[in-house]
Structure 1
Amino acid sequence: MSTDNLIKMANQIAEYFASEPDQQQAVLGVRNHMQLYWAPTMRRELLAWQTKHQGADLHPLVQAAVNGAGWEA
């Protein structure tokens, strides 16, 4: 899958959880969704891209989910 598609999908997931009033719960929602439904290769590719580009195009919730404790690429 292309990195552009991964970024788009990750940002769509974050938009869904952005309405959560508790920021920590929103980050956990994004992280849990990706852990449950994304293949490890997808998570590793997004993490590698985020590390290289400092998350330039990623929603802040995705950045927090990828950078936080508990992220398993």
Structure 2
Amino acid sequence: MSTDNLIKMANQIAQYFASEPDEQKAVLGIRNHLQLYWTPGMRKELLAWQNSHQGAELHPLAQEAVGGAGWEA
């Protein structure tokens, strides 16, 4: 899968969870979704992209969810 598609999907997931008033719950929701439904390869590719681009195109909640404490690529 292309990195552009992974970014788009991660941003869509983050938009969904952005309505959660508790930011930490939103971040955990994103992280859980990615760990449950994305393959390890997809998570590793997104993490590598974020590390090399500082998450420039990722929603702020997705940036926090990817690579933060508890993240499993």
Question: What interval of TM-score do these two structures reach, taking the shorter chain for normalisation?
Answer: over 0.9
Unaligned runs of 5+ in 1: none
Supply the AA of the counterpart residue of 1:51.
Answer: N
Q: Which residue of 2 aligns with 1:49?
A: 49
The TM-score with structure 1 as length reference comes to 0.98
Percent identity between matched residues is: 81
Unaligned runs of 5+ in 2: none
Is 1:64 the counterpart of 2:57? The answer is: no
Q: Deviations over 1:23-62 (max 9, x none)?
A: 0000000000000000000000000000000000000011
Consecutive aligned runs of 4 or more in structure 1 exceeding 4 Å deviation:
none
What's the Cα RMSD here?
Answer: 0.4
